[in-house]
């Protein structure tokens, strides 16, 4: 197998090798920040869905709170340990973060922990986690989890349930879009998984809708969003002609504030926070990780903490991304939208 194919496989089904963070993560200041957050792991059991188990990892800021809540959804083959560098930073910024694990599309796809040997095996394993029954079970985890967070004796007292956001990577980005109103073909009604408690959302590596017209698929989305992708953001599961087509949700959603970041040379694994080759980062990863963290926190401050300065800074996103990639805004309060090359299916 070629090295390029190996990297695609690693990005598609996330291995359990720990991420290696930037050097700054080892510095005393970063260690002190980490000590301000308590990690809580557990699981909830949904009796209403046949005893479905939903494991979670919560990043709980120390202090009285309450704190705005961010729920995160991992990618295909991932787990509640996904995107650690992002979620830790968000919690350190004063948000209660809960990363869910979705049975049927999590690390159980890795066939006992081994890496599939070839692309065909990866695709076969992945498709098992993408069938409609598994997908709809995954989508149902979010409203159940929000109910549990509010009632949980450890999390509930620190959770500001009036200010809730959701983020997700890859399959988790789709789960996030579904939670804010993307329709699900085959569901009755198609927007049955829309969750009104979500006030803002971030999609890392989103996809265009499968088998659906983008304008119609996203017609019900009325939630402010930040979208992330990269010019090398590809997996064996993509139907997109190029990574640029991951901008489809940003382009198709009409009305609510939308922001988009395309990082030059960033690949799919960047946003999941793990890398298949022994956890090693690419040379471009550390500065890009800092951008992802900073812009993520800026967005959550603007839309979950009503931070006016952060909101104004988001309007300058196109200028701020110069040299690292491209930034786009579509928000009436920011003035004319940033021009972007149209993708198929978006009018």
Asked whether residue 16 is assigned to any structural domain, the reply reads yes
Tokens of 42: 């557990």
Q: Write out pLDDT tens, residues 53-94.
A: 999 999 999 999 899 999 999 999 899 999 999 999 999 999
Asked whether residue 342 is assigned to any structural domain, the reply reads no
Asked whether residue 291 is assigned to any structural domain, the reply reads yes
- Which residues of the chain, if any, have pLDDT below 50? 1-27, 276-277
The answer to whether residues 54 and 74 touch, using CB atoms and an 8 Å cutoff, is: no
Q: Write out pLDDT tens, residues 141-179.
A: 999 999 999 999 999 999 999 999 999 999 999 999 999
Of the candidates 99, 164, 147, 166, the one whose C-alpha atom is nearest the C-alpha of residue 305 is 164
Asked whether residue 268 is assigned to any structural domain, the reply reads yes
Question: What is the domain extent for residue 268?
Answer: 3-334
| Domain at 18, CATH number | 3.40.50.1820
Asked whether residue 347 is assigned to any structural domain, the reply reads no
pLDDT reported for residue 347? 78
191: buried, middle or exposed (CB in 10 Å: 19+, 13-18, 0-12)?
A: middle
Q: How far is CA 75 from the centre of its chain?
A: 8
Asked whether residue 346 is assigned to any structural domain, the reply reads no
Instruction: Count structural domains, the chain.
Output: 1
Provide the sign of the torsion angle of the four alpha carbons 123, 7, 285, 245, taken in this order: negative
Asked whether residue 52 is assigned to any structural domain, the reply reads yes
pLDDT reported for residue 315? 98
Asked whether residue 39 is assigned to any structural domain, the reply reads yes
β 96-100/67-73 pair status: parallel
pLDDT reported for residue 318? 97
pLDDT reported for residue 119? 62
């Amino acid at each position: 197998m070629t090295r390029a194919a190996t990297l695609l496989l690693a990005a598609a089904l996330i291995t359990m090798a720990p991420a290696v963070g930037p050097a700054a993560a080892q510095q005393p200041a970063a260690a002190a920040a980490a000590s301000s957050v308590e990690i809580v792991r557990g699981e909830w059991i949904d009796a209403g869905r046949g005893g479905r188990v939903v494991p979670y990892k919560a990043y709980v800021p120390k202090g009285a709170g309450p704190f705005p809540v961010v729920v995160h959804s991992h990618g295909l083959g991932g787990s509640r340990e996904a995107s650690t560098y992002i979620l830790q930073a968000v919690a350190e910024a004063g948000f209660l973060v809960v990363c869910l694990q979705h049975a049927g599309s999590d690390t159980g796809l890795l066939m006992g922990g081994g890496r599939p040997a070839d692309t065909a095996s990866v695709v076969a394993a992945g498709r098992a986690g993408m069938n409609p029954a598994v997908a709809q079970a995954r989508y149902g985890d979010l409203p159940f989890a929000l109910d549990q967070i509010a009632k949980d004796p450890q999390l509930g007292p620190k959770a500001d349930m009036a200010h809730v956001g959701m983020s997700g990577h890859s399959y988790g980005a789709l789960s996030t879009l579904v939670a804010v109103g993307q329709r699900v073909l085959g569901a009755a009604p198609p927007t049955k998984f829309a969750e009104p408690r979500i006030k803002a959302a971030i999609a890392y590596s989103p996809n265009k809708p499968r088998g659906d017209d983008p304008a119609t698929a996203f017609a019900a989305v009325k939630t402010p969003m930040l979208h992330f992708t990269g010019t090398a953001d590809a997996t064996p599961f993509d139907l997109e002609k190029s990574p640029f087509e991951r901008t489809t949700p940003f382009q198709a959603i009409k009305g609510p504030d939308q922001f988009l970041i395309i990082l030059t040379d960033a690949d799919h694994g960047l946003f999941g926070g793990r890398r298949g080759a022994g956890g090693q980062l690419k040379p471009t990863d550390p500065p890009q990780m800092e951008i992802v963290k900073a812009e993520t926190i800026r967005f959550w401050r603007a839309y979950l903490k009503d931070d006016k300065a952060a909101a104004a800074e988001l309007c300058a996103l196109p200028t701020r991304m110069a040299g690292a990639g491209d930034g786009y805004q579509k928000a009436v309060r920011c003035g004319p939208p940033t021009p972007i090359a149209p993708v198929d299916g978006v009018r």
